[in-house]
Structure 1
């Protein structure tokens, strides 16, 4: 089915490549910003969100490598993306438990500011991907990653507000755990899409 002639045109392929490069660099930059701020602010939510950005950057790199390749290659790329995302989600759950036992008090103000910047970046990337998203599984995976980020950013902002109002670190831990579980859910969705695509091809 990959030879049906219904794939993207050269112009569409170039637009996809440009969009994915923008998404990759923005997510890589936000990974450094969020994880650094998360460690400084003792925020599980920010660290989780930052690591999720790193996984997104990896997914975009894989999607870039998939452009113009066979349907089988794209399915395998989506499988790799989903597997990486699943590992990150499980690792985040472990970190939530660790911070619950030995973590410090998170800084709500830092959580709100940094997560707000990340939210703006992800909304922009999501709009770019929405224009290019087709039924190709590797681009669907990239779109799913970014959709998960928007939800996670909003959750970190709300947790920061709750920490500021109550001085309780458990809001940050709950959001960090929720992000981890959401990441696992999105990973399983990507892996399911990849299996379906592989069966069709």
Structure 2
């Protein structure tokens, strides 16, 4: 596919759209799995990861729409995604702070089993998208979402081990905060690159 910006064709890397469709399907399915498991297990880190899957599914859908459009359009879409990632991070952080007052001990076994399934799913998506990680802000935001998911899954597994080993909900809360931090850092990176590309688009227009 291609589009035009100032008369210059914009080429989409071969296979990118197909990879995004696969990523969209995987993330939509894993959102359902993790939100059910997170509520059943009473795990904030699983619920945070589930919401991350939902946000990523939306991001992949936006990326499919914007893939062949002009640089300025793709930069604006990346800005929307960056803001969404930032809001997600703030929401998870707020939930973690509110949960400090107390709550039930999460089910470590459910957390661990769900975390393994989610990690396998995200690693498969990461392999598909790895070659596109150094593209424009739109492609980079997609890669960062995928990378964050895999890191979040590893952290959920560590949280499950911590809950099981220490009989405490603190590992679950700490991982929820870690996931929110990853989302906030990535949001800043995507927004900064999108702003540069918007300036570039205006300068060349």
Smaller-chain TM-score range? over 0.9
Find the counterpart in structure 2 of residue 26 from structure 1: 26
TM-score by length of 2: 0.91
d(CA) in 2 for partners of 1:186, 1:178: 12
Partners in 2 of 1:155 and 1:85 — Cα distance?
18
- Aligned residue for 2:161? 161
Q: State the 1:103 CA deviation.
A: 2.6
Q: For 2:171, what is the secondary structure of its paired residue? A: helix
CA shift for structure 1 position 185: 1.0
2:43: which partner in 1? 43
2:108 maps to what in 1?
108
Q: Determine if the alignment matches structure 1 residue 136 to structure 2 residue 111.
A: no
Partner of 1:68: 68
Indicate whether 1:189 and 2:192 are aligned: no
Which residue number in structure 2 is paired with residue 53 of structure 1?
A: 53
> Which deviations, in whole Å up to 9, do the C-alpha atoms of 1:85-127 show, x marking residues without a partner?
1111111111112222243211111111101111111111111
- CA–CA distance in 1 between the matches of 2:107 and 2:8? 54
The answer for the alignment partner of 2:91 in structure 1 is 91
Distance 1:132 1:184 in 2: 22
Shift of 1:132: 3.9
- When normalised by structure 1's length, the TM-score is 0.92
| Aligned CA distance change for structure 1 residues 68 and 92 (closer, same or farther; 3 Å) | same
Structure 1: runs of 5+ lacking an equivalent: none
2:10–2:69 Cα contact (<8 Å) kept: no
Structure 1 CA distance, aligned partners of 2:11 and 2:130?
A: 15
Deviations 1:107-158 (A, max 9, x none): 1111111011111111111111113445222111100111111111101101
Secondary structure of 1:7's counterpart equals: strand
CA distance in 2, matches of 1:38, 1:100: 18
Matches of 1:160 and 1:134, distance apart in 2: 33
Q: Deviations over 1:37-73 (max 9, x none)?
A: 1111011110111111111111101100102111011
Note if 1:8 corresponds to 2:11. Answer: yes
Q: Distance in 2 between matches of 1:140 and 1:48?
A: 22
